[in-house]
Amino acid sequence: MKSTEILCIGNPIVDVFINIDNSHAQKYGILVPVQHIDRELAEAMLRDKTIDFSKGEKSSGGGAANVAKIAAMLGMKSAFVGTIGQDEHASFFEEEITSAGVHAILEKSGRKTGLCFACNIGGETRFAASPGAALELTENHVSEEMIGSAELIVLDGYILDRRPLVQHILLKASRKGIPVALDVASVMQAKSKAEEILTYSRQFPLIVFMNADETLTFCSEIRRSGNDDDLKLSEKTDKEKEALILRDFSPMLKIITDGELFPIVVVKLGGRGAIVFAGGNMYKEETFTVVARNTIGAGDAFCAAFISAWIRDKSISECTSLGNKVAREILEVPGTHIKSGKLKAFAKIFQK
């Protein structure tokens, strides 16, 4: 039996949830939905006495770390690999994921631990990330023995920029017959790495997770039908995006996944459930919409439940249904800052 069921590799981040006004947004240049900010600016925000952090909440974050954390709460043997600093944020991150049951393999760096500010500005959420030490993870930190100890590897899509690291992991995993789950992570990655992701899916045993926007962008790039502006994603409702995927891109995704087992493409639709393409077929599992406290971490929770069920040989329908149910639980908390007891009922499903 493998010592690890799910080995997650990615960027360890501490999510900081704050309320700010437009003047703060202008001052710190937080002007678009998702962006990077340099560390000096992030530190200046933390020192700013006019920002009320007293009611702010924190959570360990980063897609792969979130998957490891939720999988551990579901009773899976999960581990996480990443690089952190040697500051108070590093201590917080490590304590939160280890207390959830994750085996943390954390390399220490002289840089500061990664941060992501989830800024509520009059009801609109904008993300400002300063990855810091998280970017220092290299192939030298991920040994063949580490990879061989796992039943499945999870990769955070944000590490696709580090091609030597990604290819090192994929090659080592493939040689040992270990599947890899890749969450594309952002529209930007779906656009810039579409051909790369497609190539990986043809060469390695891959499960690809994307949300609706990422799927539409990825498929548009593969079809070379234009750019993101042609899709006008910001103008479309969730229902319209789902319809567009089903009408225009499902034939492509069926062809891409027309293999004996891999690749598998999982399209997360939030409150509309999920669509899975596998073996050249399409499977759709609906869910019901709930009022969300916030949506951060819900997609990662879906991934954690889906792959946990997949490892336990559940059907595609069961994997997707469990993903939807666990994701709904995360909608009620900041990030993945959830008490393990909330997932206890689900954990019983994954017991061998």
What pLDDT band is residue 351 in, cutting at 50, 70 and 90? confident
Task: Quickly tell me which residue has 């690291």 as its tokens.
Answer: 165
Q: What pTM was computed for the model?
A: 0.92
Mean pLDDT of the chain: 90
Report the pLDDT value the prediction gives residue 42, as an integer from 0 to 100. 92
Distances (CA, A) of 248 to 81, 190, 231, 267: 38, 17, 12, 14
pLDDT given for residue 346 in this prediction: 80
Residue 117 contacts by C-beta under 8 Å, 6 or more apart in sequence? 16, 18, 30, 37, 42, 45, 127, 128, 129
- Could you report the per-residue pLDDT of 66-76, keeping only the tens digit for each? 999 999 999 99
CA 231 – CA 236 distance, rounded (Å): 9
Task: With beta carbons less than 8 A apart as the criterion, state whether 8 and 67 touch.
Answer: yes
CA distance 283 to 317: 7
What pLDDT, on the 0 to 100 scale, is given for residue 24? Answer: 93
Determine the pLDDT at residue 306.
97
Q: At what angle do helices 63-73 and 88-99 cross, to 10 degrees?
A: 30
Residue 288 has pLDDT above 70, yes or no: no
φ/ψ of 48, rounded to 5, equals -70, 115
pLDDT tens, position by position, 202-253: 999 999 999 999 999 999 999 875 455 567 787 888 899 999 999 999 999 9
